[in-house]
Amino acid sequence: MQLGTRLLLVGALLPAVLLGAALVAGGLALDRILHASVDQALLSQAAVEAVSLFDRAGAPHLHLIDSPLDSSVREFAPRGALYDPSGRLITRYPEGADVPATVDPVSLELQPKLSTAEVDGVRHRVVGMRVLATDGSPHGLWLAASLENHDAAVRAYWQVTGGAVLIVTLVLVTIQTVHARRLHRRVTSLGDHMERLRGGDYSRAPPSDPTRDVLGGLRDAIAITTTKLAAAREAQDRLLADAAHELRTPLTAMRAGIDVALRRPRGVEELEHVLGGLREEVDRLAALASRLLDMAALRAAPLNRVPGDIAKLVADAVDGALGLAEERGVVLEVVGVTRAPAEFAPSVVRQAIDNLVDNAIKYSPTEGRVTVGVEVVPGRVQVRVADRGPGIPAEQRERIFEPFERRDHAARGKGLGLAIVREVAERHGGHAWVEPRPDGGAVFVLELPDAAAADR
């Protein structure tokens, strides 16, 4: 069953059926209540007449005839008739009223008995009972109350409520049809978009939906997801293309070296030279493969976060880089706080810090200074690595964190170190960025949540 049909059934037809059922129940209850009211009035009149038929000397009589309000109540007062022991009509009310010609008192009971009969073509509620005279002779009392007003009221009820149910049903069906069609279009458009996503088409956003409700929020979430999927696909394609390019370069150099070596007989020294160059290219390939594996493992494996001290991790990283700094003639300095508790994965955060320190040493001039600082800001811990190298132009400060982007394209690095730094930061719920130094160089920042923020 389609969504629009289901909404029409549940939102319009079902409420209409329930409303109709409620009105039918109300009509039946109204009919019963009106009947009870007529019966109660009729029995009350029968009780009054039964105790006063013989309260006067002479012939029995009906008090309805003697009522001073006769002219006022005749229109809705019950018809009445009194019969002698032989069943002959003694008197009637009102004069000339259509009443039974004879009624055998013996056939009646002492307790009033109610029934419904048609009189003059109109339904009446009839009560008959036997009344004993002072001498014990049986007389018959017959009273009938018209149900014309009762039937008219019930008929008006059915007409009014039936018309109301019909109008309400039409309004509900109209509103729900419009709503169902609109909702069906919105849901169908999202479903079609999800089918395109499943087929790998991330080129289009879902159709716009200005309505601010759950579906509108879902559409916005799907649009954001689509954008992220498209960016991830683009980044994946770019990564594959860049990786292929990076792999092709050393492979091309290796093949060229082998071709040159095989072109003619070579001496031992020449072969050693060629093999040495090939060894360098193999090392380059191995390092690139290792970095690619590191990035793949970082993205795929869950982080095992434990409480620790970022400041101590920074100090260890700096100690590990002293040899490289001394070899390049660079001074390493640790500044900032000496304790910065956080919850993190030590191995991958240490790898990110090593990458930042290694880059800073690599791009610093001889006798330059690299400052590694740890700062604690509300909810965050920042590792700031500052160098006095050439700096990063503003237009490259975001792109530098993408895979295979280098600060210096003439350098022989793999271009994956900063990409790993940002990946580590984002996997921890943090961020990584670069800032310019006022006196030249660049400051790379790795920001992670502190211990309290991680607990939240």
Contact 246/414 with Cβ under 8 angstroms?
yes
Q: What's 105's DSSP letter?
A: G
Q: Could you give the C-alpha distances from 200 to 187, 233, 376, in angstroms and in order? A: 20, 9, 43
Which segments within 79-228 are labelled E, that is strand? Answer: 79-83, 89-93, 113-119, 122-132, 138-146
Q: What are 334's strand-pairing partners?
A: 372
Cα distance between residue 296 and residue 228, in whole Å? 18
Largest CA distance in the chain: 163
Given the DSSP bridges, would you call strands 431-436 and 442-449 parallel, antiparallel or unpaired?
A: antiparallel
Q: What angle do CA 176, 181, 186 make, to 5 degrees?
A: 125
Contact 165/16 with Cβ under 8 angstroms?
yes
Q: Could you list the active site residues? A: 245
Q: What's 264's DSSP letter?
A: S
Contact 263/312 with Cβ under 8 angstroms?
no
Contact 353/313 with Cβ under 8 angstroms?
yes
417 phi, psi to nearest 5 deg: -60, -50
Cα distance between residue 130 and residue 391, in whole Å? 121
Q: What's 437's DSSP letter?
A: -
* CB-based burial label for 328 (10 Å; 0-12, 13-18, 19+): middle
442 phi, psi to nearest 5 deg: -140, 155
